[in-house]
Amino acid sequence: MINDEDSPTDKAIIPEDTNRQLSLPSNMVNRGLELATRVELQRNIQKYQKPIRYFAGIRVPSCIDFSRNGEFAAITGYGGRGGENPELIIWNVINEHTTILSAKIHGLPLGYVFSVALSSSGNTALVGYDDGGILGWDIRAKSILHDFRGITYNTYGESATCIVISPTDQCFAECASYRVCLRDAKSGKEMQRFQGRISCYNQMAFSNDGSKLLVAHVEQTERGELMTLIDLNGELKPVLFGGDRIRDITAVSIFPDNQKLLSLDSDGVITVWNATNSNEILHWSHTKSPSDVNNIISEKQPRENVNLVTKNSIIWGLSSVAVSPDGNRILSGGVDTYMRLWTLSGREIFEFPHDTRVVKVAFSPDGRRALSGCWDGSVYVWELP
Amino acid sequence: MAHSDIVPDPHEAENDFKNLEAEFDSLSRELAEKELELATLENELSVFEKIYARAVGVLFAELDDLDKEIAKELFRLHPEEKYKAGFQTAERKARASQDAVNEKLDQGEKKTFVPSEDLKNLFRKVAKTIHPDLAINEEERAYRTILMARANTAYKNGDKEALEQILFEWDYRDEKSILKESRPDELDQLEKKILQIRLRLKEIEIKIVKLKNSELFQLMIRVEQAEQQGHDLLTDMAKDIQRQIQDAKGLLNNLKQQEQG
């Protein structure tokens, strides 16, 4: 890292000419950058309105994840509509090559898919089932790497509702009902378990350096908190986030600086949090008009498995937020079928229309492109303004 | 120059020394090059900042001032705590923007910083000759430091004569207080200098990365890229703010005509 302070010897070597210092306050430059983006966008609007590439989808409600290197998408049928043992499709975002993996061929009777996760390089995928099993795939070899049957089982319920693989690919976190488990990626052995009075975890995100895990849960604490930040290296005492305003958190992300957190809730509100003192920094609405959302859902969405709809019509994990690699931009995707690109101050830069609910969004590693995945299993690659 | 009096194996020592001399030569060339790159970047940014303040910053300040007036009218129409706070915030923002822009405008207008090859070569030569990290004692370093600061200013102003003057002064410097031969001839001195140069090179690298990560640099690059595609980004931005100013003026007039209540 670059030290912000100039060393004292440096100043002694060559005295700075005061006029060489840049002194325009950064907010004056920042708003200029934002304006420049808007002006350029107006000039090239057609360029951004259509995706560069897309995968046409599998026509059933889907679970989608992207590899951190931005090269692969994993798509698989979700819940009962996806059927038992649905195929896992790996779509190469760069060359559009498709790999289809089927647990059926391997003669493995499994339940309904509830979650999917890709490793950073996209070489392995983990699929979580409603019977508590997790299946690991070696994608290149098209073979099953792990068969963690029943590892999420506990007395309250056993569905693997969310899996995330750490950025280093050394471990993964899975959650089911009342606890979160950190497991060794090779053996599946439990490394750490987080079990509190908080119930029903439903969404998770690792920080870019893998040192922190952010977990959203369905039921609030007495003080209304809905998110827990777990420091995996240091103190294991979790930090809680939330408040009266939010009913359910449906998607979470950690900023690259580890200082801020991002959440999207069931009212379509995006919130930026201070990770240190758990205070809210600012919030704004992902949806333009919340009342429109229900209409859009009934018109455009494939019919959802009723069992999966929890209170407030939120389906676990089926909306998404992402922070750009430089930490200055935000992507959000949700039930209103739009993915939107925002500045850190919550100003909309652009909206990307989709046919159905957007369930997964991600930035490419260089921050210049976006990936979006939809409820019908379609995946899109977008050029970002 | 052979210095074989103390060292047991004269050939080996001489080879070491030659290697070090070669390293020193290439490093001091690299140092001059990097100093040039840093000075050029700093000057480009400083000039761009002024151009930006003049073309766009003033309009932002005007818009902020209108926002302040609007907030004031709103407070007049609704004498409530909420609107008072809004007005105070707008007032602070308007003042900050105005101050920032004024400061930049006071520094005078300048065309873009495009140093000629002659100027660059001259600066390279000066940096290579007088760089403080080539000093072998503190007195010499102090003297070189002053000259280097002058060289930076001269480069910024595109003042070739001033750069030549620095070289002239160096050639005819007071030889009593400063050693005439700036080239090191002792092994440990040479090693010390090489270390000094390496440290400075690292510092320059950090400074350059910092500048290139700055928002101002990003903006400058975008303006340059737009220019290559035949667009004047700063003017387009200015037009956009002017539209916002017109809207704000319309709103302000409406508010002014409204009665309290």
pLDDT of residue A239: 72
B237 and A32: CB-CB below 8 Å?
Answer: yes
- Per-residue pLDDT band for A220 (boundaries 50, 70, 90) equals low
- Per-residue pLDDT band for B37 (boundaries 50, 70, 90) equals very high
Question: A6 to chain B nearest CA, in Å?
Answer: 9
Q: Is the pLDDT of residue A102 over 70?
A: yes
pLDDT of residue A318: 65
Predicted confidence (pLDDT) per residue in B98-121, tens digit: 888 887 777 655 566 788 889 999
Predicted confidence (pLDDT) per residue in A324-337, tens digit: 999 999 999 987 88
pLDDT-above-70 percentage for chain B = 89
pLDDT of residue A298: 39
Q: Is the pLDDT of residue A242 over 80?
A: no
* Average of per-residue pLDDT values in chain B: 85
Q: Which residues of A touch B153 (CB under 8 A)?
A: 17
Question: B189 to chain A nearest CA, in Å?
Answer: 18
Question: Which ipTM did the prediction report?
Answer: 0.74
pLDDT of residue A238: 65
**Predicted model pTM:** 0.65
Q: DSSP letter for B111, please.
A: -
Look at the domain A26-383 and name its fold.
Answer: Methylamine Dehydrogenase; Chain H (2.130.10)
Q: Which residues of A touch B49 (CB under 8 A)?
A: 22-24
Question: A18 to chain B nearest CA, in Å?
Answer: 10
Which of the pair, B148 or A159, is modelled with greater confidence?
B148
pLDDT-above-70 percentage for chain A = 78
Rounded CA-CA distance A65/A261 in Å is: 20
Q: Is the pLDDT of residue A263 over 80?
A: yes
- Average pLDDT in the A17-33 region? 67
Q: Which residues of A touch B106 (CB under 8 A)?
A: none
- Per-residue pLDDT band for A150 (boundaries 50, 70, 90) equals low
pLDDT of residue B216: 92
- Name the residue ranges covered by the structural domains of chain A: 26-383
- Per-residue pLDDT band for B186 (boundaries 50, 70, 90) equals confident
Pick the range with the lowest mean pLDDT from A303-312, B11-20, B109-118.
Answer: A303-312
* Average of per-residue pLDDT values in chain A: 79
Which of the pair, A294 or A28, is modelled with greater confidence?
A28
Q: Is the pLDDT of residue A6 over 50?
A: no
Question: A40 to chain B nearest CA, in Å?
Answer: 8
Q: Is the pLDDT of residue B185 over 80?
A: no
Q: Is the pLDDT of residue A299 over 70?
A: no
Structure tokens, A173: 């976190």
In 3D, which of A144, A75, A90, A162 has the Cα closest to residue A121?
A: A90
Size of interface A-B (CB pairs under 8 A): 95
- Per-residue pLDDT band for A127 (boundaries 50, 70, 90) equals very high
Test the A interface: residue of B152, B216, B217, B244 with most A CBs within 10 Å: B216
Which of A215-229, B13-27, B32-46, B177-191 has the highest average model confidence (pLDDT)?
Answer: B32-46
B145 and A43: CB-CB below 8 Å?
Answer: no
Question: Pick from B153, B209, B226: which is nearest to A2 by CB?
Answer: B209
Question: A380 to chain B nearest CA, in Å?
Answer: 27
Rounded CA-CA distance A310/A318 in Å is: 12
Q: Which residues of A touch B231 (CB under 8 A)?
A: 43
Rounded CA-CA distance A371/B7 in Å is: 67
pLDDT of residue B6: 53
Q: Which residues of B touch A10 (CB under 8 A)?
A: 203
Q: Which residues of B touch A26 (CB under 8 A)?
A: 215
Q: Is the pLDDT of residue A153 over 60?
A: no
Q: Is the pLDDT of residue A47 over 80?
A: yes
A14 and B145: CB-CB below 8 Å?
Answer: yes
